[in-house]
Every structure is written in structure tokens, then in C-alpha cells.
Chain A
Amino acid sequence: MDNRELANANPVVLNPSDLPTRKRLSASQHGEGKSSSIFSFPTTTLSSDPLYHSDVSEASDSDVESDAEDIDEQEIYDLIATMSDPEHPITLGALAVVSLPDISIKPTMPHRPESPLRTVTVLVTPTIQHCSLATVIGLGVRVRLEESLPARFRVDVRIKEGTHSTAEEVNKQLADKERVAAALWNPTLQSFIKKMLETCE
């Protein structure tokens, strides 16, 4: 590469096994998680025969309300933790740039409980105090969330307090819709963000 001067050439990396995941959460909620059995095959030949199942309703595969799964913090985390850092081929999760406790979802209008509007707040922790790419990372997170969340979600991305030397300035940029929109027309930024999003699958 032509530019070997990175903002932070040597960040601390976490192991993927230590990052929060959906299964771990559900395991702590419901006691034990069901392990997938190595002996899984249908116990009877009946189960695959449509002629014996024609009149059985597909209860297991329908939208019963109790199955509804709301968008929660973990889901937001999963959306952005797999993005990669613009400098390293390492995910934002492994670099602890985003972390589960720094994500919150709140009703946008708390005085109207029936309103479906929600505000997602994500606090970004740059790997070093003076990271010049903090804005790009914040912008990338913003883009990812705006693409991936339904319209009723308002996205608020900020630099976590006390983790960056020019946090205030960066936050202003990130909160300014017009500046964000203008920034996204910048081809350099576009390619940065495209690169960050490549690992999200």
C-alpha cells in the first residue's frame, strides 16, 4: 500500500469468542441453550410425506404474536460489529470500537407509549484519542444503520465521552444531516465506507 502511516498502526484486538452474541443472551435468559444434536434425523418416515400432513396446520411456521422478535440492542450490535475498521481488516467489534453496553434503544416520544418511533443511540469508541478516522467510522456506522433499520428508527451516532480529543467537533458533524449527506457524495469517503461494509454478511 502507498500510505504506511496509519492513524493507529497497532490497535488492541479482542478475540471473537469474547464478543457478545445472540445465543449467549438467550442462554442466560432461558436457562440452557439447546445444543444441536449430532444424531438428528427424522424419527419416523411419516414426517416427510405430504399425504399424511395435508390437513395439519403449519403452526410451527406461522406468525404467532408470541414469536415476534423486537429489534433489540444485540441486533443493532450484530449489524455494526461485523463492519471492518477502515485501516485494518479487523471488525469494529473485535477492536471494541462498538460495544453492546454502548448501544441503547429508546422510544422517540416517551410521552406517547403507543408510538412505534424509536431512537437508537450508538456510542463509538475510537481506538486512540486522536484517531483521525473517527468521523469516517461514525459515518459508516450511521450509513449501515440507516440502510438496515426500518424507517421508524431514528439513528444517533456519537463519539463516546472522553474517548476522543475532538469528540465535540466530530459529534457535530455526525449529527448534521446536511453535512452527512454532503460527505456521502465524496468519492474518497464512499470508497472508505464501501470497504467497511464489505465484511457485513
Chain B
Amino acid sequence: MKMPDMPDFLSVFQNLGNKPAEGNKRPAAGKNLEIHVVMMGGRRCGKTSVLAAMEDCLQRTIYKYTNITCYSDDDMTLQTLREKKSEMDAYFIDRRGRSFHPDSTPTSEVAQYSFCIGLRSPKRTKDSGHINLIFHDYPGEWLLNRRDDLKEIVEKSRIIIIAVDTPYMMEEKGRYNRHRNNCDEISNALIQTGFANGEPGMILFVPIKCEKYRNPTGRNSKKMLQVCNAIKSAYAPLLDYLTKSSECFAAITPVFTLGDAVFSDFERDENGDIIEDKEKIPRQANYIFTDNAGDAPNPQFCEQPLFYILAYTLAMAKRAKEKGGLFSGIQNAFQENILHWPSAEEYLGEYQVLCEKISETLHSDNGYEIVSSCNWIDLNQKP
């Protein structure tokens, strides 16, 4: 892969912030560096839920393994995400029968959730800048009817998280995938904006609701591998574009937000036909609690996408530091932002930790796979 030249690298950091067009100049000293992340995915496939699950595990995992701090100072952000989280908890707490079907309020407007990334360090001062992670969560419908708005968001973003409603992709020979997960629309949107064309970017495919395909034994084993393959084939044009003409790292990073509830079937009528809505998508997906389900979800791997995102930022920082002396142009941006931090060395030290944590899970048996690798980041699939 072609590494970006340094001027490009500078622009990376410029672009990490808001676009100049929007009036934001280069970030000032000690000010926050903004990194935009877009949630993509079809309607109701679980974009907001992925965010909520990641937020939920922040405390438990990031702090446990790293010295990175990550918090949201925006109460509204937390409010919405925690509501989403408790919607999912409710399936367990209020459980009546053995099965349930998710049914909730859709996201109605684009929402922004921002998190400050910092470092627990004695050297850290109040003035130390943060990296500001800003997640954009838009309603799934936008993919179909508000492409321009969506395009705008994508253009300023360096990281894309694509939520995949896995049962719709895997069941019934995948015939509902197109309409549910809108893979083609997503691919097109990204290709058309020229995402990560010459600038390092990251795409995370996040299959969710995929508990059913995890660790089955016997004839069902290796199902997560099939999930990966299905994603690779559904997004083949995008992956093709990424490997050919972009600086984009891409990986499949499934999360198991409920843990002990697995997909069972799509609701059928008395003739045995799947009941479909007017878009020809199954009206209702039924989930069933496993034998040992408790009274709360048992999430797993939810921190992984976050690790990848953090790794991205640190990789960028590391890169900037290594090349820092050579190009005067980036000094400003870098010194005044990340490397200026008192704890910059330590901060970068965390990069190693993250990469290790990521590697632990990075097995195709788990459904984890790097589908487009880049040498600006130290992540590689184990053989």
C-alpha cells in the first residue's frame, strides 16, 4: 500500500477537525482534535444499539486495560444511548416468555454523540487537549432518501462503522439482506465520496445480533466464518475499491450485545410463509433466550470496535511523531495538539497495549477478520 506523503499527513490532521469550509481553522494549541465517525447501516438494523453497547462497556474495559480515558461530557448523548441500552436490558428484565421480538423507536434525526479521549496521567493538566470523537448516528432511511446530507457527513469523517443486521444477511439464503442492510447503497455512498482516497481511513463492519452463529458445535460450526464471507461478498465492490484505490483499513468486528439471546426465526403466517412488510422485509424477527440466560444481557466483544478506533487515532499520532521533525508544516498541528500534551509519550505507549488487545480477539473463528490492511497501522491477521 502506498503511504501518504507528509503533506497529506498534515491534511489528515486538518481533516480530523472540521472542514475549513465550515469555518473551523486549523485546531488551536491545546484545543481538541476532532475525529468524526459515521454509523452506517440499514433501517432498524442496530446502529444506535452498537453505539449504546460501546458506550456501556467504556468504563469496564477501556479503563481496565489501558490508561486511556474516554468520557462524554454531554448529558444528552448519554441520555439517548442509555435509553437504547435499557431498551435491550428490558428484554431480559421484563422477560415473559421464552422468546421476544425487538421493536423500538427508530432514530428520527441525525444525532451526534461526542466523547473525549484523554490519558490518565500525572503529567496531564487541565489544559491538555483531547481527541474528540464525534459519532454521527443518522436514521437508516437517509441512505435512501437523504443522500446529500449523508454525503456531507461522510465527507468529513475518517472512520465508518457499518452495522450489519446479521440474521437478515444469513437467513433464508440471504434474500432479505439487500433490503435490510442496504449494502449496495452503503458501498455506493462510500465509493462515490471517494472515502479515504489518499488519506488513511478506517471502516469497521460490525455484525450484530449474531449470537446464533457463534460457537455452535457439530454441523453448525464455523458459522462466524460464513458471516465474514457473507459480508465480504455483500460488500465486494466496496472492498475492491478499498484495496485498489484507498488508504483505508477495514475489518470485521462483530459484537454480541445480548449474549444469551439468539435469533430464532422470522414470523410466519399459518401457511408457513414469512410475513413481510411493504418493503418485502420480514415484519418480525423472533429471538429466543438460551437455556442459561439470566436476567440481564451478557455482552461480549463490545469494546473491540472502540479499540480499533482508538488504535486508529494513536496510529495517526505515532505516525505524526515519527515524521514530525521533517516537515515543518505539520509541526503546528501536531505539537499544538497531540504531541504537545505532557503525556504524549505515554499516550503513544498505549498504542501497543491496544494492538495487543485487538490481536487477542482477531481470529476468524470469532468472526474477526481484517479485510483490508494498511501498513500505517500495526494490525495484522494472524495466520
A, B co-complexed: no
